[in-house]
Homo-oligomer: A and B are copies of this chain.
Amino acid sequence: MTIDDLSNGEIEALFSLADEMSDSIAKQSKLCQEKIMASLFFEPSTRTRLSFETAMLRLGGHVISAADIGATSLAKGESIADMARVVGSYADVIVIRHPWEGAARVVADYAGIPVINAGDGSHEHPTQTLCDLYTIKKERQTIRGLKIALWGDLKHGRTIHSLTYALARFGATILFRPSPGLEVPEYVLRKLTTEYGGKLERYEALNQVVKGRLFPLDAIYITPSSPHQLAMMPDISIQTELETGVDALYVTRFQKERHTSREEGQELNKDYPMVDKKLLRGKEFKKALVMHPLPRVDELAYELDADPRSMYFKQAARGVPIRMALIALLLGAKEAAISEKSVSFIQKTDYPVYKRESGVRCPNPTCVSNQETEARYIKPEFKMVSLKPLFLRCIYCEQEFHPQYIASSDWHEGRLESKKYHSAESWLVRKIKPENLIIFDSEDKAQARGFKPSSYVR
């Protein structure tokens, strides 16, 4: 579902298996015989779908494919869960792409067979990230300690979100250079510091020190795994360090089709960065791998195609062995040997879960939990990633938000008849045990459930 479903060790093992796959592709043609992969694409995609299907066929398996389901069962009002259960009874593994964030998780919850997320809205596209990481690893041997610049539409690019997490986990430093108005969402940045433990330098600070020839940065994520790097340096030396150049420049296209109508009016692609020969003459790009998840539009000039730094067609080609390795592992056709030393340096955080029926809904309109067909059976569920200030993360789309009102299910020695709600900003929020917390979107919803405003409602 997300790149975080695989540990660093599992990813390294997958890369070894992908090496094996590409070294002797003809020898793999019996691995998944008699297995069927269902390829369910609710969004048009040729590249990703054909890459998965090629991978399965190279493993000797079969494919059933639905290339643009938007118009079919959905039109009849069918839910994703129902489709998942039915296709789960036909196939052995499902690959799903869907325009709603969290849709792949729902499929995984109901299918009863392994499910691979091939992109869910603006949320994640973890196998693209595997191709990206694999390419960096093949070209530079390691990811730890590298400086990777991310360019372009960092807001809607789901490949960017998956990649950001993975780079952080493998110990890279990340330089964010969004096109103005297309910054990385705050919940992605927050996760970098709260879960991967690094340090985030924001633009305002950087503006003072990073001047001149270097590209305008929005933020830098400094990994805790590289003590010899920026993390330990005073601000003034960031520029010096950066001027030694970046190891990779990862460019994405303007994701027009994901922009909201409000965004469409803003001509956000007006100052979109353009990567071309001239730019790459800069010494900070001398050794930089030029990467792109494709398709490209105008942000990456064709004149670079023959440049040895250009990696984007290699990234695409490596999708086949990576996906072969992943499918073979999921179908049990191969075992992955996870080496001791490559264990991830980060620990997955175990946040308390909030799933009371108090009317709280994910505020993301394209989250799967907010769709008419899915709301029939999906119960909203959130991770409480922070109490003061109170932040919930939707378990489906992983977007975070700050609800306004709280109450306790165990207040005043259990006297529930005196039901009161309070501002989430109040000092009371930390007094309530997470398991007793009741959260409301709005005063209306609190009152509809019989709660009355306390004196702590501002």
Contacts and interface: CB of A to CB of B under 8 A. Distances in A.
Interface of A: 26, 29, 33-34, 36, 38, 40, 44-47, 49-51, 53-54, 57-58, 62-69, 71-73, 75-78, 81-83, 85-87, 89-91, 253, 256-257, 294-298, 302, 305, 313, 316-317, 320, 376-377
A294 B54 contact: no
A310 to B, nearest CB: 11
A54 B51 CA distance: 20
B44 A89 contact: no
Contacts of A49: 66
Given A76-B257, A82-B295, 20 more contacts: A40-B46, A44-B73, A46-B66, A46-B87, A50-B66, A53-B64, A54-B91, A57-B62, A67-B67, A68-B71, A76-B256, A77-B295, A77-B297, A81-B302, A82-B294, A83-B295, A85-B313, A90-B317, A90-B320, A302-B377
A78 B294 contact: yes
A50 B87 contact: yes
Given A57-B36, A86-B294, A69 B50 contact: no
Given A75-B44, A89-B320, A294-B82, A64 B50 contact: yes
Given A26-B34, A36-B58, A82-B294, A73 B47 contact: yes
B89 A302 contact: no
A72 B50 contact: no
Contacts of A54: 36, 64, 90-91
A46 B73 contact: yes
Nearest to A255: B76
Nearest to A47: B86
B64 A57 contact: yes
A410 to B, nearest CB: 29
B82 A296 contact: yes
A296 B76 CA distance: 8
A138 to B, nearest CB: 15
23 contacts: A34-B58, A40-B46, A44-B72, A44-B75, A45-B72, A45-B73, A46-B72, A50-B66, A50-B90, A53-B64, A54-B90, A67-B67, A76-B295, A77-B297, A78-B296, A78-B297, A81-B302, A82-B295, A85-B316, A86-B316, A86-B317, A89-B320, A302-B377
Question: Top 5 closest A-B pairs, CB basis?
Answer: A78-B295, A89-B317, A44-B72, A302-B377, A77-B297
A292 B250 CA distance: 49
A67 B66 contact: yes
A1 B43 CA distance: 31
A297 B76 contact: yes
A396 B81 CA distance: 37
A161 B69 CA distance: 27
A50 to B, nearest CB: 5
A44 B74 CA distance: 10
Given A36-B54, A91-B54, A69 B86 contact: no
A313 to B, nearest CB: 5
Nearest to A33: B29
A313 B51 CA distance: 30
Contacts of A73: 44-47, 295
A368 to B, nearest CB: 15
Contact of A50 (B38, B50, B302, B377): B38
A34 to B, nearest CB: 5
Nearest to A295: B78
Contact of A257 (B40, B50, B75, B297): B75
A311 to B, nearest CB: 13
